[in-house]
Each structure stands twice: as C-alpha cells, then as structure tokens.
Structure 1
Amino acid sequence: MISRVAYDEAESTLSIWFKETGRYIYSDVPQAIYDGLRKAPSAGRYFNDCIKRRYPCRPDPERRKFRPRFTG
C-alpha cells in the first residue's frame, strides 16, 4: 500500500507515496505520528488507524502532470 514516507519537521507535513495513487501530503502532522508510522509493524494499518481522515490532505500538485486525459 505505502511505498515511501517523508516528513518535513519545519512545516509539520507528512508525505506518503502510495503504490497505486502516488504522493499525498498531510498537514499539521506531529513528529510522533511520523515516528509511529516508521516503527509500525504494518504501515498500512497504522495509516488507516492514525492518519487517514485525521489530518488535512492534498494530492501532490506535480502528480496532475501524469494523469491520463479523457476526451469525450
């Protein structure tokens, strides 16, 4: 589910790269949550229990460049 994580301490933002959907950026995330994610036996379970729907989230703005365009 999760392929990579990174934390910006100055901005309190957590970046999570998902295998299927790419990078999402979570705001106002405490350092302890990032540390817990890194140490968790199951990153996916920790994400679902402690991060998902608990912090403001936005997709990586660079990700839009690679989305398929539909015409119709």
Structure 2
Amino acid sequence: MPKTFPIAQPFSEGEPLAINRQAVESNQVAEIGYDPETKTLAVTFTRGQALYQYPNVEPETHAAFLAAESIGKFFGEHIKALPFKKFKLPEVAVAGGRP
C-alpha cells in the first residue's frame, strides 16, 4: 500500500506568540519552546520554514518532550495530533548575499 501524506495546512493569520526556543538533538525537530502563561508549545522542524504553535499544552508534556530519549518519536506519539497554528518563519540572510 502506498504511503499517504496529510494535506499541507495553510499558514495562520496574525503574528505568532513571541516564545524563545532552544535547539534540540533530533533528526526531525530543530527547536522547542514553551510559554507557561499561555501553555503554548512552539516547535520548528529540521525541514521546512514554519513555526508551529500548539495551545493548551501542559507543562509536564513540555518537560517530557524535552527529556524524551527520542524527541521525534515523542512528537509523533503525543503532539502531532494536537491542534496547532502554523506561521511562516522569516528567511535568514546568509553571508555573501545568498538566501
């Protein structure tokens, strides 16, 4: 049976919450951040130019995500199915004028 992929979600309107993110060791996930006041989890991936923000994530879930032996596996099992907002990340200029 051929592998099926979900339909790409459009970018959300408005601005994302300003949440500091930290780089993590993962082939899939690049950065993770969390805002305890709004219980919003922020995730960027190694592929793609999007910031995903997951509202209503408990602090214990964020802590377990950061501590997971496999961050990508934890994401797939506990976070991937949660509702999210998707925002375009700003392009980063590279020295020499190339994007």
- Which of the five TM-score ranges fits, normalised by the shorter chain? 0.7 to 0.9
1:42 aligns with 2:70: yes
Q: For 2:37 and 2:58, how far apart are their aligned partners in 1? A: 11
Sequence identity percentage: 24
Q: Which portions of structure 1, spanning 4 or more consecutive aligned residues, are displaced by more than 3 angstroms?
A: none
| Aligned amino acid, residue 46 of structure 1 | F
- Root-mean-square deviation over aligned CA pairs: 1.5
Amino acid at match of 1:42: S
Q: Distance in 2 between matches of 1:16 and 1:64?
A: 11
Q: Which has the larger radius of gyration?
A: 2
Gaps in structure 1 of 5+ consecutive residues: 67-72
The offset of 1:65, in angstroms, is 6.2
Number of aligned positions between the proteins:
63
Give the equivalent residue in structure 2 for 1:58: 85
Q: Which has the higher helix share?
A: 1
CA distance in 2: counterparts of 1:52 and 1:19, whole angstroms:
15
State the TM-score, normalizing by the size of structure 2. 0.59
